[in-house]
Amino acid sequence: MSVLREWKVETFADVVRAFRAIRDVLQRLTFADNFESFEEEVTIGATSEVSVVNKLDTIPSRYLVMEMVGDGTVRKGSTTWTSELLYLRNPSASSVTAKVRFFV
């Protein structure tokens, strides 16, 4: 992201130019720029639970499955999440590989 600089606003055209510049920066923000989060790829066998190392300073409050390959399902594990480890499970009869983003 570019470094913000001072704007000299004297005319309406200056205001429009400033808003366009701000809009351009905001449109380039990624999902990760907007949220304290991390993404992890996991493979979970059929009817299994896996642990994921927590890369945040606190226990996440949410997760979002970004991509999934396979006929399995990704659910929050039955083991309690801690500041060190998070748990996901696949209750399905088939394995699944998924990209999961965890959020504060």
Question: Quick one: 23 exposed, middle or buried, by C-beta within 10 A (0-12, 13-18, 19+)?
Answer: exposed
- The C-alpha atoms of residue 12 and residue 32 are separated, in whole angstroms, by 34
At 19-34, the pLDDT tens digits run 888 888 888 888 777 7
At 68-104, the pLDDT tens digits run 999 999 999 999 999 999 999 999 999 999 999 999 9
As separate numbers, helices (DSSP H) first and strands (DSSP E) second, the chain gives 2, 6
pLDDT of residue 6: 67
Tell which wins on pLDDT, 22 or 58: 58
- The C-alpha atoms of residue 100 and residue 81 are separated, in whole angstroms, by 15
Look up residue 90 and give its two tokens: 């696949």
Q: Where are the domains of the chain?
A: 31-103
